[in-house]
Amino acid sequence: MATGKRTVVIAMDGSYHSGYAFQWYVDNIRKPNDVVYIVHSLERLRNEPFQTALGTADVQAVCNVLKEEEEQEKTLLDKLNELLKENKLTGEVKTGSGGKPGEVVIKIANEVGADMIVCGSRGHGKLRRTVMGVVSDFILHHSEVPVTICRHKPHNPELRKQNSLEPK
């Protein structure tokens, strides 16, 4: 495979951890013929406990949150596309919704015929992973191809600022 193309999926949510994983890929395992798919899972209404089933949610509030999330997603997707260009990578940003982020990453990795997946890790302990579930754990246990999980280095404010795509 030294001269062939390799398809790499990088799971990114805009966090420091995913930015670190992207940079790790670029610095350590990138090959000239790689085709890179940055995968981002759209999660709508993730921050608001709306009680729409009970009819108690303010419709205007729901619309405002949806519009704000849509704007944030567009900004993030623009930044992810810019990352590809800045690093002179061949590939594209793919998004998916309708499932948990790990499920979306696996689905898209299968669709594009990924040879490997790279993702970040927040470094949660075993109990927290068990209770909350973690995207990187899901990807690791459900992927049909090798997975590289990049655990971030100890807290470094400059590195965090450099790798984060989150709004400042």
Mean of pLDDT values over 92-100: 88
Which candidate, 89, 115, 119, places its Cα nearest to that of 101? 119
Residue numbers of the domain that contains 131: 7-43+57-163
Model confidence over 18-45: pLDDT tens digits? 999 999 999 999 999 999 999 998 766 5
- Dump the DSSP string for 82-103: HHHHHTT-EEEEEEE-SS-HHH
89, part of any domain: yes
Residue 93, strand partner residues: 38
At residue 131, does pLDDT exceed 50? no
**Is 69 contained in some domain?**
yes
Angstrom distance (rounded) from CA 83 to CA 155: 23
The CATH code of the domain that includes 73 is: 3.40.50.620
- Rounded to an integer, the average pLDDT of 109-138 is 77
Q: CA 15 to CA 18: how far, in whole Å?
A: 5
Q: List the Cα angle 83/5/139 in 5-degree steps.
A: 65
Task: Give residue 166's pLDDT band: very low, low, confident or very high (50, 70, 90).
Answer: low
Question: Is 2 part of any domain?
Answer: no
Give the predicted TM-score (pTM) of the model. Answer: 0.78
The answer for 24, left when phi > 0, alpha when psi is -120 to 50, beta otherwise, is: alpha
Q: What average pLDDT does the segment 103-113 reach?
A: 96
| Structure confidence at residue 61 (pLDDT) | 79
pLDDT band at 82 (very low <50, low <70, confident <90, very high): very high
Question: Domains in the chain: how many in total?
Answer: 1
